[in-house]
Amino acid sequence: MTAHSDTDVIDTVLHLDTFPDIRKLREQRARLKHLTQTSYEAALRPREPRNFSYAMRAALAARMAGLWKAVELVAHYRDLLAREEATPDLAAIADPAFRPDESGDTRLATILAHVDLVTLTPREATRAHIEKLYAAGLDDRDIVTLAGLIAFVNYQVLVVAGLKMLRDN
């Protein structure tokens, strides 16, 4: 994992530096705030990215944030993707409307279908969906990595939505 940053992504995307009451509220749960940022770093910038490059992680995160219409997080993850010098193919993945050609990259199609399913309708995910990931060439570590990324980004989206409601009222 990369060294811990003093920058908190949630504070940054919501511009909480101009909302001292909300920042104070977050500081009351400083450990949770710290663990959330540490989880961000683990999910998006692990020391060893293995089969999910930093750019791919950012693209998938932007896609999930887009599925939730979490505009602040979409902007953050698209910016992160651009800093990773993503290829046009990876930039396309960030768009929730993008569907890869089924006759082409079945691995990517399977990953995106899984990301979309677990993000939008997690209760519908079954062991059969995991088997599809195996059939597409993912191993146990890849599946755990993908599950962790999906879990974190969806958690982050909910935290941002809650804080945004507090901030904007």
In tens, the pLDDT along 145-162 reads: 999 999 999 999 999 999
The answer to whether 156 touches 11, Cβ cutoff 8 Å, is no
| 17 within domain boundaries | yes
Question: Considering its fold, how many domains does the chain have in total?
Answer: 1
CA distances from 25 to 6, 11, 19, 152 (A): 18, 12, 10, 21
| 2 within domain boundaries | no
pLDDT level of residue 169 (50, 70, 90 thresholds): confident
Q: Which residue has the tokens 């909300």?
A: 22
Which pLDDT does position 51 carry in this prediction?
93
| CATH classification at residue 154 | 1.20.1290.10
pLDDT, tens digit, 9 for 90 and up, residues 69-123: 999 999 999 999 999 988 888 999 999 999 987 667 899 999 999 999 999 999 9
| 154 within domain boundaries | yes
Which pLDDT does position 4 carry in this prediction?
44
The alpha-carbon radius of gyration of the chain (Å, integer) is 16
- Whole domain around residue 80: which residue ranges? 9-168
| 4 within domain boundaries | no
| 15 within domain boundaries | yes
The pTM of the full predicted model, rounded to 2 decimals, is 0.93
Write out the two tokens for 159. Answer: 């935290």
pLDDT, tens digit, 9 for 90 and up, residues 4-40: 456 899 999 999 999 999 999 999 999 999 999 999 9
At residue 2, φ and ψ (nearest 5 deg) are -75, 165
| 120 within domain boundaries | yes
The answer to whether 68 touches 119, Cβ cutoff 8 Å, is yes
Which pLDDT does position 6 carry in this prediction?
64
88, amino acid identity = P
Q: Return d(Cα 163, Cα 169) in angstroms, integer.
A: 10
Encode burial over 133-156: b for 16+ CB neighbours within 10 A, e otherwise: beebebeeebeebbeebbebbbeb
**pLDDT: which is higher, 57 or 4:** 57
